[in-house]
């Protein structure tokens, strides 16, 4: 079947098999490999993209369901070489270790900040609850967001 959708501002019309997921479509058909597969079963959040303003696990959405949708992936986050505020704060706060969870994490945070520019720490944790990070222990991720929004004290290591 043929689907039409907008990804990171670009319009695509592409063939896709009915059973293909949006994740597979983004990675294999469009070649946008920034979105990761961590489980393929809706359990890890590595594949999170923003679809019509909502953060979704793209491995749980059929590409066919995204026909007509407006989608943002991590590739649409920076303006050329300039990191977005979220990306810059993630990098500055070392919210990134192996980086495999990062694209999905950034998308979840983006959705949060769009609706709640000054989230509480609990709201931040809530927003990334579906995104597993095995590396960081989450503190530096939460700090990356609070530093950006000015909503929370930086925990730990004052002298760093």
Choose between 37 and 65: whose C-beta lies nearer to ligand FES: 37
C-alpha–C-alpha distance, residues 93 and 145, integer Å? 9
* Residue 128 contact, options another protein, ligand FES, none, Cβ 5-8 Å cut-off depending on partner type: another protein
Least distance to ligand FES from the beta carbon of 23, Å?
A: 6
* Residue 57 contact, options another protein, ligand FES, none, Cβ 5-8 Å cut-off depending on partner type: ligand FES
CA distances from 14 to 23, 28, 31, 74, 124 (A): 14, 12, 12, 20, 36
CA R_g for the chain: 16
Q: Which residues, numbered 66-125, are part of the site for ligand FES (CB under 6 A)? A: 96-102
Choose between 9 and 104: whose C-beta lies nearer to ligand FES: 104
Least distance to another protein from the beta carbon of 127, Å?
A: 9
Helices (H), 9-101: 22-24, 85-92
C-alpha–C-alpha distance, residues 106 and 74, integer Å? 7
| Tokens linked to 146 | 């609070």
DSSP state for residue 60 in the 8-state scheme: G
Residue 96 binding another protein, by CB under 8 A: yes
Residue 44 binding ligand FES, by CB under 6 A: yes
Which of these, 79, 140, 70, lies nearest to 105 by C-alpha position? Answer: 140
Q: Which residues, numbered 120-159, are part of the site for ligand FES (CB under 6 A)? A: 133-136
- The Cβ of residue 135 has, within 10 Å, a number of other Cβ atoms equal to 16
Name the site residues for ligand FES (rule: CB under 6 A). Answer: 37-40, 42-47, 57, 59, 96-102, 133-136
Q: Which residues bind another protein (CB under 8 A)?
A: 31, 33-41, 43-44, 46, 73-75, 77-78, 83, 87-88, 90-94, 96-103, 106, 124-126, 128-142, 155-157, 159-160
């Amino acid at each position: 079947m043929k689907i039409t959708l907008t990804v990171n501002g670009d319009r695509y019309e592409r063939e896709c098999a009915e059973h293909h997921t949006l994740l597979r479509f983004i990675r294999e058909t469009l070649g946008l490999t920034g979105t990761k597969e961590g489980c393929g079963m809706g359990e890890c959040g590595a594949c999170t993209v923003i679809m019509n303003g909502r953060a979704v696990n793209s491995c749980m959405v059929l590409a066919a369901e995204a026909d007509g949708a407006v989608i943002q992936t991590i590739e649409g986050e920076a303006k050329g070489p300039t990191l977005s505020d979220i990306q810059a704060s993630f990098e500055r706060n070392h919210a990134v270790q192996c980086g495999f969870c990062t694209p999905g994490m950034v998308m979840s945070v983006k959705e949060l900040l769009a609706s709640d520019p000054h989230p509480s720490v609990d709201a931040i944790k809530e927003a990334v609850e579906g995104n597993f990070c095995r590396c960081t222990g989450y503190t530096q991720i939460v700090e990356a967001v609070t530093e950006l929004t000015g909503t929370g004290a930086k925990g730990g290591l004052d002298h760093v």
